[in-house]
Copies of this chain bind each other. A is one copy, B any other.
Amino acid sequence: MNGFYHLGELSTSTVERLAQRALEFRRGVQPVRFAGRGLGLFFLSPSLRTQASFQRAAAKLGLDLVQLQGGGNGVWQLELADGAVMNGTSVEHVREAAAVLGRFVDVLAIRAFSGGQDLALDLSDPIVNGFRRFAGVPIVNMESALWHPCQALADWTTLDMLGVGRRAKFVLTWANHPKPLPHAVPNSTLAMALQRGMDVVLARPDGYDLHPHAMAEAKRLATESGGRLTVTNDRNAVEGAAVVYAKSWGSLEAWGDLAKEQRMRASLANWCVDGELMRRAGPSARFMHCLPVRRNVVVKDEVLDGPTSVVIDQAENRLHAQTALLERLFLELETQSKARKSSMELEEVRP
C-alpha cells in the first residue's frame, strides 16, 4: 500500500482484512503502537468526524501528530497549477507545501473537497493529487474531490458488522439538499458496494448521473466481484434492500451554475428518505448515511431516530477503520525501514 487514495485500488482480500481488524478494535483490541513515527493531518475543508477520528486513531497508535488547518488563520492558500506566475492570492505552491510536510512526517493525510465551479479541475482532483506527486511520503485521502475511501472502508466494516450478505441488495439513493454537494461520497459508496459484489441499485433523478469515470471504475469492480448495477430514476426501487444509503450530490449538468441546479431541484423535494420508503424496502432494511445529514430534507426524523438507522455505528467505524488502515501503513513502513537497514548492513559487510 503506497498511501490510500481510493478503496478500489486495494485488493478485496486486503479490504476484508482491514475491515476485520477494524472490528477487532471495535471489540476493544489495542492496535500496535509506533513510537517515534509521525502522522500529519492537513485539512483544507471542514471536518468533524474525520478530524476527531484521525486524532484519536493517531493517539491510539502512539504516533506523533502534526495537524494543520488551511485557510483563515491557518496555513497559506495553495497554488496548484504547473508553471503558474504566482502574483495573485495563492501564497505557496503545492509542490513546496507537499515536499516540506513530507519531510516532517512519515504519512500525510489530506482533506480537500471539490471546488464545485470548474468540473475539469475537480475531475483532476488537484490538491490530493498534488500531494501524491510531491510529498515523497504515503498520502491518505481524507476526502478529495473524487473519492472518500476512509468512508468507504468504514462502510464496508459496518456492512460486515451487520452481517449484510455479499449478494444482498444495496440501494444508493440520491436525496434533496439545499446545496449541490461533491461526488466523492457517492462515487466511493457505489464503488465499495460493487467491490463487495452486491446487487446495487443507484436511484437518482434524471440529470443526476455520476461521472462516467466513476461509473467505469464501479463497473470494473463489479466485473471482478460479480456484483450487479441497476441505475433508475425511480426513488421507490428499494424493495428487498438490505441497505438504503442516502446521499445528495450536485448535477454534473449544472456544475458551477447554482440557478440551474435550483431549477432542477424545484420538483425533487420528495427525494427524502421517510418511513414509508423504509417500509417499502422491507423489514431487514437498514438506513445508512455518511453524516453530516440535513434532517427532514435528506431523511426524516422518523427514520434517523428509528431502529433501522445505523448512522452512529457507521460513524464510529470511521475510527476503527482508520486505525486499521494506519496500523497497516505504518507496519509496512517499519518493514521497509528494516529491509533498507539490513541491505545497508549487507553492503557494509562487502569488501
Interface residues of A (CB under 8 A from B): 30, 36, 38, 40, 43, 46-49, 51-53, 55-56, 59-60, 64-76, 79, 83-88, 91-93, 95-97, 99-101, 103-105, 178, 291-297, 301, 304-305, 311-312, 315-316, 319
Overall SS of chain A's interface: mixed
Give the complex CA separation of A74 and B178 in angstroms.
Answer: 21
Q: What 10 pairs across the A-B complex have the smallest Cβ distances?
A: A92-B292, A59-B64, A103-B316, A86-B294, A48-B75, A85-B296, A100-B315, A55-B66, A72-B73, A87-B178
Q: Is the CB of A100 within 8 A of B60?
A: no
Inter-chain contact A294/B101, CB cutoff 8 Å = no
Chain B residues positioned under 8 Å from A96 (CB to CB): 291-293, 304, 311-312, 315
Interchain nearest-CB distance for A278 vs B (Å): 18
A30-B36, A293-B96 known; A56 vs B105 contact (CB < 8 Å):
yes
Q: Given A46-B73, A52-B40, decide whether A312 and B66 contact each other with a Cβ distance below 8 A.
A: no
How far is the CB of A166 from the nearest CB of chain B, in Å? 26
A297 to B65, CA, bound (A): 34
Cβ of A64 and Cβ of B74 under 8 Å apart?
no
Say whether A301 contacts B56, CB under 8 Å. Answer: no
Instruction: Say whether, besides A104-B53, A301-B83, A316-B104, A97 and B48 are in contact (CB < 8 Å).
Output: yes
Across the interface, do B85 and A293 meet the contact criterion of CB distance under 8 Å? no
| Residue with the greatest number of chain B CB neighbours at <10 A, chosen from A36, A52, A79, A105 | A52
User: CA A100 – CA B68 in complex, angstroms?
Assistant: 22
How many copies of the polypeptide does the oligomer hold?
3
Kindly provide the distance from the CB of A137 to the nearest chain B CB, expressed in whole angstroms: 12
Residues of B within 8 A of A99 (CB): 312, 315
**A103 contact from B84, B93, B293, B312, Cβ within 8 A:** B312
Please name 14 further chain A to chain B contacts, defined as beta carbons within 8 Å, in addition to the given A49-B100, A52-B105, A96-B315, sorted by A numbering.
Answer: A48-B68, A52-B68, A55-B65, A83-B301, A85-B295, A85-B297, A86-B295, A86-B297, A87-B178, A87-B297, A92-B293, A95-B304, A96-B291, A96-B292
Q: Closest B-chain residue to A178, C-beta based? A: B87
With A93-B295, A294-B86 in contact, do A71 and B73 touch (Cβ < 8 Å)? yes
